């Protein structure tokens, strides 16, 4: 081959390699080695490719096959899949009336009145699904600042020109928290051609309210761009997540243990008692007594001031906001630690449920529609995980809220119901109400 052709081929290979590395660095936290280099054959690169394949539900090969490359080439949101803009991102706005302000720069692709209408409609999507109200403001201290910019624009997260990254938003907080930027190198439209501003804005405002990316392609918070039906923009997952984040009952939770719709965030044994968690509230039922102690979690575990998402075992771990505590005898031992301690991919920011199986010395962790198996003897995740919950537990097709092992069965708490599951025979053997576990 002519030397010039070989040089041109090597140049394109180098550019292609850089683009792939940029993708994994931006969205999956790929790090350079101490000399600033990245090897596509290295363990870190392969691990990040696997993380990305797991997130998008692809075959987990660790190699850049055609399906993986196709996803990487898709236009998408600029917010990482594996971590938030954590140095400026909070969890939620501590109010239900949120202000927004236009717009230092409008796009030239659409009339200003159309842009205003589409942005207002995008906020209305979340208002209809929650207790939130959005008010347009002309002040410089509005919560969410909206603007169209190109390339480097002052926030350390430059855009990349047409296609690629379409927009990004910062989570709730002071300063740039909540601010939402659209790449004006894109062709913005109000219809099916180009990129629909209404759809992209609604996605980004989800981030500005505190929501993370979803693995569910039907979710508005799925990172890659899709043309959604405007009448059904939010999935049931989106609605549930925004309601959970901005529940109107926060702070005055209905603590009626016999309520027909009672649900638990986590359930665990601790000594001779069973602990039931819901938001920041706790019920404790001793196995040999009928009385039930209850109250704010902080009354029993003073070091824990947040809600509990999952818990397991006598010396158990509780998760919230990507951290866990070790608790023994109602005393918190040491400091909170990161969830990555267990070997999860970095994109796993929370666990829905966890349950320890004494016979196998395994702890199962449930995250959305998949689960992991953790070997307590070797302190590592078992090979071949994660797996889909529906494959490992036929008959269970919902997100798991809580789980507990008792008398040889696993009890899965799904909403206000509890499924008694025969782990050996792989089927549901009974269904009961969650409140029955509190004597109702």
Distance CA 156, CA 149 (A): 13
Catalytic residue (one of 84, 147, 204, 391) = 204
> Would you say 181 is a known binding-site residue?
yes
> Would you say 91 is a known binding-site residue?
no
> Would you say 153 is a known binding-site residue?
yes
> Would you say 309 is a known binding-site residue?
yes
Run of H or E residues at 112: helix 112-128
> Would you say 140 is a known binding-site residue?
no
> Would you say 177 is a known binding-site residue?
yes
Distance CA 183, CA 78 (A): 10
> Would you say 109 is a known binding-site residue?
yes
> Would you say 291 is a known binding-site residue?
no
Run of H or E residues at 333: strand 331-338
Distance CA 308, CA 264 (A): 10
> Would you say 65 is a known binding-site residue?
no
**Are 92 and 211 contacting, i.e. CB atoms less than 8 angstroms apart?**
no
**Cis amide leading into 386 (omega within 30):** yes
**Are 49 and 68 contacting, i.e. CB atoms less than 8 angstroms apart?**
yes
Run of H or E residues at 430: strand 427-433
> Would you say 252 is a known binding-site residue?
no
- In 137-241, DSSP assigns E strands to 144-149, 165-169, 180-183, 188-189, 195-196
Residue 414, token pair as written in the block: 């799904």
**Are 389 and 369 contacting, i.e. CB atoms less than 8 angstroms apart?**
yes
Backbone angles phi, psi at 410, to 5 degrees: -100, 130
Backbone angles phi, psi at 367, to 5 degrees: -135, 110
**Are 67 and 58 contacting, i.e. CB atoms less than 8 angstroms apart?**
yes
Residue 204 is a catalytic residue? yes
> Would you say 427 is a known binding-site residue?
no
> Would you say 259 is a known binding-site residue?
no
Backbone angles phi, psi at 38, to 5 degrees: -130, 125
Distance CA 362, CA 133 (A): 45
> Would you say 353 is a known binding-site residue?
no
Q: Which of 367, 363, 364, 325 is nearest to 345 (CA)?
A: 367
Residue 184, token pair as written in the block: 């004006």
> Would you say 143 is a known binding-site residue?
yes
> Would you say 186 is a known binding-site residue?
yes
Distance CA 51, CA 169 (A): 23
> Would you say 155 is a known binding-site residue?
yes
Q: Is 363 exposed, middle or buried (0-12, 13-18, 19+ CB in 10 A)?
A: buried
> Would you say 301 is a known binding-site residue?
no
Binding residues: 77, 109, 143, 153, 155, 160-161, 168, 177, 179, 181, 183-184, 186, 203, 207, 213, 221, 265, 309, 311, 354
Mind telling me the catalytic residues? 204
Binding residues for Zn(2+): 77, 153, 155, 168, 181, 203, 207, 213, 221
Binding residues for Ca(2+): 109, 143, 160-161, 177, 179, 183-184, 186, 265, 309, 311, 354
């Amino acid at each position: 081959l002519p030397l010039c052709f070989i040089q041109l081929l090597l140049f394109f290979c180098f550019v292609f390699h850089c683009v792939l590395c940029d993708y994994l660095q931006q969205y999956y936290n790929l790090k350079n080695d101490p000399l600033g280099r990245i090897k596509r054959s290295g363990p870190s690169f392969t691990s990040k490719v696997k993380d990305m394949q797991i997130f998008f539900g692809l075959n987990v090969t660790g190699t850049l096959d055609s399906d993986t490359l196709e996803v990487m080439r898709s236009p998408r949101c600029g917010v990482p899949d594996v971590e938030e803009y954590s140095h400026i991102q909070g969890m939620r706005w501590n109010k239900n009336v949120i202000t927004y302000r236009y717009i230092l720069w409008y796009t030239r692709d659409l009339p200003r009145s159309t842009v205003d209408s589409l942005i207002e409609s995008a906020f209305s999507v979340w208002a209809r699904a929650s207790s939130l109200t959005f008010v347009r403001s002309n002040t410089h201290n509005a919560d969410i600042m909206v603007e169209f910019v190109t390339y480097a624009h002052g926030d350390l997260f430059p855009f990349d020109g047409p296609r690629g990254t379409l927009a990004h938003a910062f989570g709730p907080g002071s300063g740039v928290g909540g601010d939402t930027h659209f790449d004006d190198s894109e062709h913005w439209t109000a219809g099916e051609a180009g990129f629909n501003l209404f759809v992209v804005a609604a996605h980004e405002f989800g981030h500005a309210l505190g929501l993370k990316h979803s693995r569910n392609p039907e979710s508005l918070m799925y990172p890659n761009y899709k043309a959604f039906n405007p009448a059904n923009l939010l999935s049931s997952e989106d609605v549930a997540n925004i309601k959970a984040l901005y529940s109107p009952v926060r702070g005055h939770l209905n603590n009626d243990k016999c309520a027909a719709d009672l649900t638990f965030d986590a359930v665990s044994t601790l000594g001779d008692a069973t602990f039931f968690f819901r938001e920041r509230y706790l019920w404790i039922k001793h196995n040999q007594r009928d009385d039930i102690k209850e109250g704010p979690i902080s009354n029993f575990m003073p070091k824990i001031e947040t809600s509990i998402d999952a818990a397991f075992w006598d010396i158990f771990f509780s998760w919230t906001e990507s951290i866990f505590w070790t608790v023994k005898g109602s005393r918190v031992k040491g400091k909170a630690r990161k969830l990555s301690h267990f070997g999860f991919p970095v994109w796993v920011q929370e666990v829905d449920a966890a349950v320890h199986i004494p016979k196998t010395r395994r702890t199962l962790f449930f995250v959305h529609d998949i689960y992991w198996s953790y070997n307590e003897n070797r302190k590592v995740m078992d090979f071949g995980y994660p797996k889909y919950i529906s494959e490992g537990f036929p008959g269970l097709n919902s997100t798991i809220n809580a789980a507990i092992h008792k008398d040889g069965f696993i009890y899965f708490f799904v909403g206000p119901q509890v499924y008694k599951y025969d782990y050996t025979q792989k089927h549901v053997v009974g269904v009961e109400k969650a409140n029955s576990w509190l004597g109702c």
